[in-house]
Structure 1
Amino acid sequence: MKNVLFICGKARMRSPTAADIVAKWPSYRTDFAGLSQDADEKVSTEHIDWADVIIVMDGRQKKRLSDQFGGCIRDTKIIVLGIPDKFEYMSPELVDVMTPKLRRVLVAPN
């Protein structure tokens, strides 16, 4: 099993959607968290220690993650998905944009 942590700003739309999509795939365990102070589930060192791979929604989040948890993420693969913050949780448009990107970064051979 591979542990995949999804991170966005407030952990309300994109990261929970990604976690719910991938949780249905065999061989993956998922969790999600947010980087903002008012995130529903704020990212912690426990999240990072659990993760085999971390997927952020945009490049700014990768930088914020590095700024906040630099030493903790040194050996963890971090992937930028490139999903803008303009979708609702599990909206068909978000699922349609996100699913092929997730398959490409998680299922396709590296």
Structure 2
Amino acid sequence: MRARDRHYLFVCSQNKLRSPTAEQIFADHPGIETLSAGTNHDAETPLDDEMLRWADTIFVMEKAHRSKIQQRFRGA
């Protein structure tokens, strides 16, 4: 029986450059599933509760992103 893939979520502000690039770098690694999102409401893919629940590990591009996530998603 195969173990479940690890879920990595990459977060930046707009989800236009940094987090999608990181997502693509890790996407081909065996045993890893990736998503990327942005903290801004007008991001290409805005971050939501479901993504946070899905993720085993969340990688932020700046300390400010971590703070935004903690403030906006206190219960997630």
Is the TM-score greater than 0.5? yes
Where does structure 1 differ by over 3 angstroms across 4 or more consecutive aligned residues?
Answer: none
Paired position in structure 1 for 2:21:
17
Q: Distance in 2 between matches of 1:56 and 1:69?
A: 15
Q: Distance in 1 between matches of 2:45 and 2:7?
A: 17
> Per the alignment, in what secondary structure is the counterpart of residue 51 of structure 2?
helix
Structure 1 counterpart of 2:10, from 6, 13, 17? 6
Shift of 1:24: 1.1
Structure number with higher helix proportion: 1
Between the aligned residues of both structures, percent identity stands at 35
Runs (5+) with no aligned partner, structure 2 = none
Q: Distance in 1 between matches of 2:48 and 2:10?
A: 12
Alignment of 1:1-110 (within 5 A): 1-72=5-76
> Per the alignment, in what secondary structure is the counterpart of residue 43 of structure 2?
coil
Which structure ranks higher in relative contact order (CA pairs < 8 Å, sequence separation ≥ 6)?
Answer: 2
* Corresponding letter in the other structure for 1:27: G
Q: What do residues 22-55 of structure 1 show as CA deviations (whole Å, max 9, x unaligned)?
A: 0111110000000112101000111111111111
Q: Return the TM-score normalized by structure 2.
A: 0.91
Q: Return the TM-score normalized by structure 1.
A: 0.64
* Corresponding letter in the other structure for 1:29: E
> CA RMSD, aligned part only?
0.6
Runs (5+) with no aligned partner, structure 1 = 73-110
